[in-house]
Structure 1
Amino acid sequence: MAPRRTKVYEGKAKILYEGPEPGTLIQYFKDDATAFNAQKKDVIEGKGVLNNRLSEFFMSGLNAIGVPTHFIRRLNMREQLIRSVEMIPLEVVVRNYAAGSISKRLGIEEGTALPRPIVEFYYKDDALGDPMVSEEHIIAFGWASQQDLDDMVALGLRVNDFMSGVMMGVGIRLVDFKIEIGRIWENDYQRLVVADEISPDSCRLWDIETGRKLDKDVFRRDLGNLADAYTEVARRLGVLPRNANNVTKPTLIN
């Protein structure tokens, strides 16, 4: 790895570097954990390795079923090669069960099955706390067009179908998740793709039998060891060997 790389962007959980070819970036997964808009912070050893592997697993699966993503391939324990995209400044949240903000906002008990998957949009702005916005706001302020919104809802629901099925198969309930979406320009033609990451940082995952939380709520709510929860998800999905212990101090090189 070249010692001097050009950093393009650093977020709370990842760093983007210039990629080896035009139109590519290298996405590096940090061990930093943040919650409540980075008011709560910690470093969870091994978290970046787990999220790199899990995001690879989900993005590869989506690519394989024809849902376009920015993911090209994993490079090593903490990095993956991705396509450079123009990010739409919205988070797309898909909810299957009530939890988190929808429970507080609408007074629905956590864990209640929703009548159908609900898609919500949040404006990406840390200073404002990523406020929820309506389609009316999005179109009025030019963040995305009506066609983009229709495509984003369709992408969110396809990701939900795929993720729900995969998780159900290993005894995990997909309560909700967040994706981010980017534009790729091919000549004058625009395509929307799933970008950022898909990992237990961006999903709520509950064990179907016990209700145990296997996602970032473990950190948000002080429910135990975050790396243990993520390791459990990775183990069940076959991303890590079943006998693997928590992947702190990883020795694998690939």
Structure 2
Amino acid sequence: MKHIYTGKTKDVYALADGNYLLKFKDDVTGEDGKFDPGANTVGLTIEGAGRAGLKVTKFFFEILNARDIPTHYIDANIEDATMTVKPATAFGKGLEVICRYRAVGSFLRRYGMYAEEGQQLDAFVEVTLKDDLRQDPPISEDALDMLGILSKEEYKILKALTQKIGTIIKEELEKKDIELYDIKFEFGRIGADGQIALIDEISGGNMRAYKNGQYIEPLELEKLMLEA
């Protein structure tokens, strides 16, 4: 096993069989000691956050794989806080894709002249560049195509997958009376044909979810979702 990359919330290792191992850490993104799924810096460390994030990730990826939605997920070891995944190629230097159901966070900061806090949105898809230096700027379909990051045909696939996956996760949360406000995904190309697939993780650290109007912290989300 060879160490490849040290990330904010996960470390990446190459395995001898060509797959990769993701090691989940207890670091979460945020600012000033407060968790924020949209932040591009590590804000705090929460004991148990890595395993909690992996449990939720495993739960959702197994649902997606059972529905034949393309992902990089192979399996997970909760005790070791590791996930085995297929190799994937990023779009450019990496994209983040947000599916929004309510106006909060950076959407509200940008569009607050027109949007009210908590206003319902119709699975609005937003793509941003993974670029800490420029604070992850949003990018349009045309710009993605012109800059050679993602073709317009690929964008259509990406958007459709984002909304389909977002709906599945939203419906699963609703079974526990939890409302999904927004969720952040990452996609890449897998396999010889470069199929667009969901990569990275699907956890409380990637979403804003509320129950009875109260925000749910990542560790609490894992308990609500997975405990009987």
Q: Normalising by structure 1, what TM-score?
A: 0.81
Matches within 5 A, 1:169-248: 169-186=175-192, 189-207=193-211, 209=212, 211-214=213-216, 229-238=217-226, 241-242=227-228
State the partner residue of 1:126: 132
Separation in 1, partners of 2:207, 2:199: 15
Bigger radius of gyration among the two: 1
Q: Is the 8 A contact 1:17 1:26 kept in 2?
A: yes
Q: CA deviation at 1:125?
A: 0.9
Structure 2 equivalent of residue 148 of structure 1: 154
Would the aligned equivalents of 1:67 and 1:158 in 2 still touch at CA under 8 Å? no
Following superposition, the deviation at residue 110 of structure 1 comes to 2.0
Quote the residue 2:34 is aligned against: none
Match of 1:222 in 2: none
CA contact (8 A) 2:100 2:182 kept: yes
Query: 2: CA distance between counterparts of 1:177 and 1:8?
Result: 27
- 1:91 corresponds in structure 2 to 96
How far, CA to CA, are the matches of 1:34 and 1:119 in structure 2?
21
Match of 2:167 among 137, 149, 161: 161
Identity fraction in percent? 30
Q: 2 CA distance for matches of 1:28 and 1:145?
A: 32
Indicate the residue corresponding to 1:111 in structure 2: 118
> Cα deviation per residue 1:10-50 (whole Å; 9 max; x = unaligned)?
1100001012411x100010011222421x62221100010
SS of 1:206 mapped into structure 2: strand
User: What is the identity, as a one-letter code, of the residue corresponding to 1:14?
Assistant: K
Can you give the 5+ residue segments of structure 1 that lack an aligned partner in the other structure?
Answer: 215-228, 243-254
Across the aligned residues of Structure 1 and Structure 2, the Cα RMSD in angstroms comes to 1.3
Q: TM-score, normalised by structure 2?
A: 0.90
State the alpha-carbon separation in 2 of the partners of residues 92 and 33 from structure 1.
18
* CA distance in 2 between partners of 1:83 and 1:64 (Å): 16
* Equivalent-residue separation in structure 2 for 1:99 and 1:205 (angstroms): 11
Cα deviation code 1:81-131 (max 9, x no counterpart): 1111001221111111111011111112221112x2111110111111110
Indicate the SS of the match to 1:49: helix
Q: Which residue of 2 aligns with 1:221?
A: none
In structure 2, list runs of 5 or more residues that go unmatched: 31-38
Q: Distance in 2 between matches of 1:134 and 1:174?
A: 24
